[in-house]
């Protein structure tokens, strides 16, 4: 669809400089843009492409607006403005309300008349599907699961029994929410399964990436609070609590009964051991292993254990000179041995 720059400026909450009636029909990168497209500059590494861009307009901040050769939308947060423009130009597809003829819906399930149940999906006994919910093809909504209004399961998503999904959630293909946690008791070397009787409870506006798994609680619930964003292939173990608006990147993993505060970020490949707590506004760098509770906001980096980011940078700077330090120590040890030998001879 095409929109005027004036309409996009209002949507993006940005200041317009240029022709308000200019039509924009697509989004492209600065280097690959074409007339009719809008681009954005959020990372200064791409500033070199601004001068030669063929875009009809660019979203950028006031500092770079003077360098822009075309119309622009000026924002304090160009990437956020870009997100709003993307949503306007590429709206989510609309799905017809109703139940596909190949879907299986238990008679005791409650499905809102405005919901859409896709092909070959299954809705179990006692499940509740709210208004304007989209259950895509091949999804499994097991018995007693609840989906809040406006949420969407893209395709091949599994919500296990009793799972609660809030409003306006987005769950990508292959995600499994509410599967059993890893609970096992040892009986003389043999493993005995411990029944997992809690639920997985997700708040409003949560996004769950492809092939991510969120385990149900062992006794109490696993809880993912409002606004949490989980990337693909993230694992949340049983009884974990994740605070509001925390984001976790791909392949991050949280072991059982850990608590993560609000507005935290967990970068890709990071791992948290069980039964620890992270304060609000803790930011864990990629591949970091967190083995103890972190009580103070900040950036943490490292392996075992994680330390404050500034300390890690200083230690890593020294680590780069480790070979040189080792050679110098050996040289000093040889000199010391020679001095001791001379001292011993003098004593004789």
Residue 126 has pLDDT above 80, yes or no: yes
**Do residues 30 and 123 both lie within one domain?**
no
Q: Collapse the DSSP code of 325 into the 3-class scheme (helix H, G, I; strand E, B; otherwise coil) and give the result.
A: helix
**Do residues 57 and 178 both lie within one domain?**
no
| Alpha carbon 40 to its chain's center | 22
Provide the pLDDT confidence category of residue 348 given band limits of 50, 70 and 90.
low
Rg (CA), the chain: 28
Pairing state between β 3-4 and 23-24: antiparallel
Instruction: Tell me the two tokens of residue 173.
Output: 């293909």
Instruction: Tell me the two tokens of residue 145.
Output: 């699961």
The Cβ of residue 20 has, within 10 Å, a number of other Cβ atoms equal to 13
Angle of helix 309-319 relative to helix 322-347, nearest 10 degrees, comes to 60
**Do residues 128 and 77 both lie within one domain?**
no
Provide the pLDDT confidence category of residue 343 given band limits of 50, 70 and 90.
confident
**Average confidence (pLDDT) over 206-216:** 98
Q: Collapse the DSSP code of 179 into the 3-class scheme (helix H, G, I; strand E, B; otherwise coil) and give the result.
A: strand
Strand ranges, E, within 46-121: 57-60, 71-74, 98-99, 104-105, 110-111, 116-117
pLDDT digits (tens, 9 = 90+) for 313-326: 888 888 888 899 99
Catalytic amino acids?
Answer: 238
Is residue 99 within 8 A of residue 117, CB to CB? The reply is yes
Q: What percent of the chain has pLDDT above 90?
A: 90
**Do residues 132 and 280 both lie within one domain?**
yes
Which 8-state DSSP code applies to residue 46?
A: G
- Between 34-43, 103-112, 302-311, the lowest mean confidence (pLDDT) is in 302-311
Nearest to 5 by CA among 42, 36, 32, 41: 36
Q: For the chain, what is the mean pLDDT?
A: 96
**Do residues 258 and 322 both lie within one domain?**
no
Residue 149 has pLDDT above 70, yes or no: yes
Number of domains in the chain: 3
**Do residues 178 and 247 both lie within one domain?**
yes
Task: Give, in degrees to the nearest 5, the angle at Cα 279 between 184 and 281.
Answer: 125
Q: Per-residue b/e over 250-288, b at no fewer than 16 CB within 10 Å? A: bbbbbbbbbbbbbebbbbbbbbbbeebbbbebbbbbeeb
**Do residues 69 and 126 both lie within one domain?**
no
Beta bridge partners of 278: 260, 294
**Do residues 118 and 164 both lie within one domain?**
yes
Q: What are phi and psi of 305, to 5 degrees?
A: -90, 170
Q: Scanning the structure block, which residue is given the tokens 């506004």?
A: 281
Residue 213 has pLDDT above 90, yes or no: yes
pLDDT digits (tens, 9 = 90+) for 239-288: 999 999 999 999 999 999 999 999 999 999 999 999 999 999 999 999 99
What is the model's pLDDT at position 304? 63
Provide the pLDDT confidence category of residue 234 given band limits of 50, 70 and 90.
very high
**Do residues 207 and 343 both lie within one domain?**
no
pLDDT digits (tens, 9 = 90+) for 43-99: 999 999 999 999 999 999 999 999 999 999 999 999 999 999 999 999 998 899 999
Q: Collapse the DSSP code of 232 into the 3-class scheme (helix H, G, I; strand E, B; otherwise coil) and give the result.
A: coil
**Average confidence (pLDDT) over 136-155:** 98
**Do residues 16 and 116 both lie within one domain?**
no
Which of the listed residues 62, 89, 116 is the one where a domain comes to its end?
89
Query: Would you state the torsion angle of the CA atoms of residues 203, 207, 213, 217, taken in this order, to the nearest 10 degrees?
Result: -10
pLDDT digits (tens, 9 = 90+) for 8-29: 999 999 999 999 999 999 999 9
Which of the listed residues 25, 55, 89 is the one where a domain comes to its end?
89
**Do residues 19 and 131 both lie within one domain?**
no
For residue 21, the enclosing domain spans 3-89
Looking up residue 122, the CATH number of its domain turns out to be 2.160.10.10
**Do residues 13 and 130 both lie within one domain?**
no
What is the model's pLDDT at position 332? 94
């Amino acid at each position: 669809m095409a929109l005027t720059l004036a309409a996009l400026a209002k949507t993006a909450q940005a200041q317009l400089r240029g022709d308000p009636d200019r039509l924009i029909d697509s989004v492209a990168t600065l280097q690959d843009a074409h007339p009719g497209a809008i681009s954005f500059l959020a990372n200064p590494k791409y500033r070199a492409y601004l001068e030669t861009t063929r875009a009809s307009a660019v979203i950028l901040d006031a500092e770079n607006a003077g360098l822009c050769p075309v119309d622009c939308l000026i924002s304090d947060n160009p990437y956020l403005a870009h997100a709003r423009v993307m949503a306007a130009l590429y709206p989510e597809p609309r799905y017809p309300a109703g139940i596909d003829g190949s879907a299986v819906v238990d008679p005791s399930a409650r499905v809102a008349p405005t919901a859409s149940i896709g092909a070959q999906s299954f809705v179990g006994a006692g499940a509740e599907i709210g208004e304007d919910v989209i259950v895509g093809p091949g999804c499994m909504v097991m018995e007693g699961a609840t989906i809040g209004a406006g949420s969407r399961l893209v395709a091949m998503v599994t919500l296990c029994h009793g799972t609660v999904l809030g409003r306006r959630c987005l769950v990508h293909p292959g995600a499994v929410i509410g599967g059993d946690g890893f609970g096992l008791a040892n009986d003389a070397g043999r493993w005995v399964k411990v029944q997992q009787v809690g639920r997985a409870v997700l708040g409003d506006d949560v996004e769950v990436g492809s092939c991510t798994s969120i385990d149900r609680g062992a006794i109490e619930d696993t809880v993912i609070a409002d606004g949490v964003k989980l990337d693909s292939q993230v694992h949340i173990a049983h009884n974990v609590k994740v605070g509001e608006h925390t984001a976790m990147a791909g392949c991050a993993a949280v072991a059982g009964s850990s608590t993560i505060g609000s507005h935290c970020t967990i970068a890709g490949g990071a791992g948290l051991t069980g039964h620890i707590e992270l304060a609000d506004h803790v930011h864990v760098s990629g591949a970091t292993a967190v083995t103890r509770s972190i009580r103070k906001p900040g950036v943490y980096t490292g392996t075992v254990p994680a330390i404050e980011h500034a300390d890690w940078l200083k230690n890593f700077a020294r680590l780069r000179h480790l070979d040189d330090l080792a050679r110098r120590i050996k040289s000093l040890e040889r000199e010391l041995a020679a001095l001791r030998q001379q001292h011993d001879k003098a004593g004789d």
